Homo-oligomer: A and B are copies of this chain.
Amino acid sequence: MIKREIKHLDYLEQSELEKIHQAALTVLEKNGVEFHSREARAILQKNGAKVEGEKVFFPPQVVMEMVGKAPSEFTLHARNSEKSVTIGGNCTVHAPGYGSPYVMDYVNNTRRNATYDDYIAFTKLAGNSKHIDVVGGVLVEPNDLADQIRHGKMFQAAVKHTDKCLMGSAMGGKKAMESIEMAAIVFGGIDNVKNNPALISLINTNSPLQFDPRMLDALMVYARHSQPVIIAALAMTGTTSPVTLAGSLVQQCAEILSGIVFAQMVNPGTPVVFGSASSIVDLRSGNLAIGSPESVKMFSVIAQLARFYDVPSRGGGSLTDAIIHDSQSGFESMMVLMNSVLCGTNFMLHSVGLLENYMTMSYEKFIADDEMLGMVKSFTERFPVSDEYLAIEAMLRVGSGGNFIADEHTYNHMKDMRIPQISSRQSFAGATDFNETPQRAHEYSKMILREYQTPELDEKVEAELEKYISALG
């Protein structure tokens, strides 16, 4: 978890932000949002929204009243309580890539379908990472598992191989409920889960301005059990949202607000996250361009809007459009990651591993992105400015033209420095390793997977979970 010690960067002026807010309220009142669930619409109507067919219109005062019920931050509990995290405030909580159907095969330099073995391996890399806080969910898509057991097997892998925070399935009400029942096995009963939220789940809008029944059913199950939900738009400018950034942000804001309002109507006080995975589209090719400065601007404003509504935000990631792990993948990923953290994003999916926008997970990029997380974390942590660190005495001792290498001040503080995991600090002349970063990352990932120590898990819990998951199939 990154605890940012430098002030966040507000991208827009307050007056501009309020224009986006007002425009979103207008869209919610005049166009409304389609909720493709009769049950959801009944709840919305009962709580002051106007329903016509599938469409739900939101009076501004209903929106603001309901958003006000959402907590400004909350704790997500891990089975190892030392790994529980705060979502909100100055923190950025990190989860790996999410939902990729493909994995990059580094050795053969091609991509292939992701499997459950990949899922387990990435879970171990996430377990090993000093910077990843949340596992589970669709870390990669285990294409070789039957649909009705996937969420169970993914949950099992996450619990078995790590003791970090967990994500739940958003694939409909049934799988959401099963996720909660599995969490109940791990966390000592369903009341414990309710009182100490243990599953965070990703509820996507269906842009423009819709929610599908599967997501709504999952949302209702999680809200009724007080489990946090990320309400996230994945709008694509010029296709599923207006082509302008301001317009796309208005639409995203309207969609996310409607989901947050609905969650509060289902159960006031449900922890929510104001989220986005939206991107511009390169209209020459029709492809997403998530590694673009325009996408980062949108993430920055999403974080700022979330502060305006006093709820946590989600956005960013180590995002790139490169299909190969090269310098483009490096500079795009750093741009999105660094700025999303500086702009105050609280929850970050896709923090490590992705290539080719959201399509492909890479073991090697997972390791390189984990290095970047360490760098970003270091940048956001201030350095001490006390007399001891100001070092006036040392400068008077060493004097003009001297060398600090042998001074006691150097000896006392030389260990403060961050040591990179895989990055090179060789000189060309003295180099012993001319491998590129992906090769070093490849070897590092193999080493981690070879040596990974699984944290302890109560045998009874493991057996009960196994029994529950077997019954799903």
Query: A residues touching B (Cβ–Cβ < 8 Å)?
Result: 6-7, 9-12, 16, 19-20, 23, 26-27, 30-34, 55, 102, 111, 206, 208-210, 237-248, 250-251, 280, 282-285, 287, 289, 291-294, 296-297, 321-335, 338-339, 342, 356, 359-360, 365, 368, 371-372, 375-376, 378-379, 382-386, 389-392, 394-396, 398-405, 409-410, 413-414, 416-420, 423-428, 430-431, 434, 436-438
Question: Which residue in chain B gives the minimum CB-CB distance to A9?
Answer: B9
Residues of B within 8 A of A208 (CB): 395, 398-402, 404
**B328 in contact with A331 (CB, 8 Å):** no
Residues of B within 8 A of A31 (CB): 395-396, 399-400
**A34 in contact with B400 (CB, 8 Å):** yes
Point out which of A328, A372, A389 has the most chain B C-beta atoms below 10 A from its C-beta. A328
A322 with B392, Cβ < 8 A, contacts A31-B400, A339-B338, A379-B293 known: no
In angstroms, how far is the closest chain B Cβ from the Cβ of A356? 5
**B327 in contact with A325 (CB, 8 Å):** yes
Chosen A-B contacts, 30 in total, with CB atoms closer than 8 Å, are A6-B11, A11-B382, A16-B382, A16-B385, A20-B390, A31-B395, A55-B400, A208-B398, A208-B401, A238-B414, A240-B403, A242-B410, A244-B384, A244-B389, A247-B409, A285-B427, A287-B430, A292-B375, A293-B379, A297-B379, A297-B383, A321-B423, A322-B424, A323-B428, A326-B327, A332-B423, A335-B338, A335-B372, A342-B342, A356-B428
**B9 in contact with A404 (CB, 8 Å):** no
A368 with B331, Cβ < 8 A, contacts A250-B392, A392-B26 known: yes
**A375 in contact with B293 (CB, 8 Å):** yes
CA distance A111 to B318 in the complex (A): 31
Residues of B within 8 A of A368 (CB): 327-328, 331
**B428 in contact with A360 (CB, 8 Å):** yes
**B425 in contact with A327 (CB, 8 Å):** no
**A395 in contact with B326 (CB, 8 Å):** no
Question: Which residue in chain B gives the minimum CB-CB distance to A431?
Answer: B323
Other than the given A9-B9, A323-B424, 4 more pairs (CB < 8 A) read A12-B382, A34-B400, A251-B391, A293-B375
In angstroms, how far is the closest chain B Cβ from the Cβ of A232? 17
**B243 in contact with A383 (CB, 8 Å):** no
Identical subunits present: 2
**B383 in contact with A280 (CB, 8 Å):** no
Point out which of A384, A385, A427 has the most chain B C-beta atoms below 10 A from its C-beta. A385
Question: Which residue in chain B gives the minimum CB-CB distance to A403?
Answer: B239
Question: Which residue in chain B gives the minimum CB-CB distance to A301?
Answer: B383
Question: Which residue in chain B gives the minimum CB-CB distance to A368?
Answer: B327
**B246 in contact with A326 (CB, 8 Å):** no
In angstroms, how far is the closest chain B Cβ from the Cβ of A217? 19
**B246 in contact with A293 (CB, 8 Å):** no
**A323 in contact with B427 (CB, 8 Å):** yes
Question: Which residue in chain B gives the minimum CB-CB distance to A322?
Answer: B424
**B385 in contact with A12 (CB, 8 Å):** yes
**A287 in contact with B400 (CB, 8 Å):** no
In angstroms, how far is the closest chain B Cβ from the Cβ of A30? 6
CA distance A111 to B386 in the complex (A): 43
Residues of B within 8 A of A342 (CB): 9, 342
In-complex Cβ contact of A246 among B324, B356, B385 (8 A):
B385
A400 with B246, Cβ < 8 A, contacts A287-B426, A327-B325 known: no
**A238 in contact with B410 (CB, 8 Å):** yes
Residues of B within 8 A of A102 (CB): 428
In angstroms, how far is the closest chain B Cβ from the Cβ of A264? 21
CA distance A164 to B19 in the complex (A): 41
A400 with B328, Cβ < 8 A, contacts A394-B247, A418-B294 known: no
**A285 in contact with B425 (CB, 8 Å):** yes
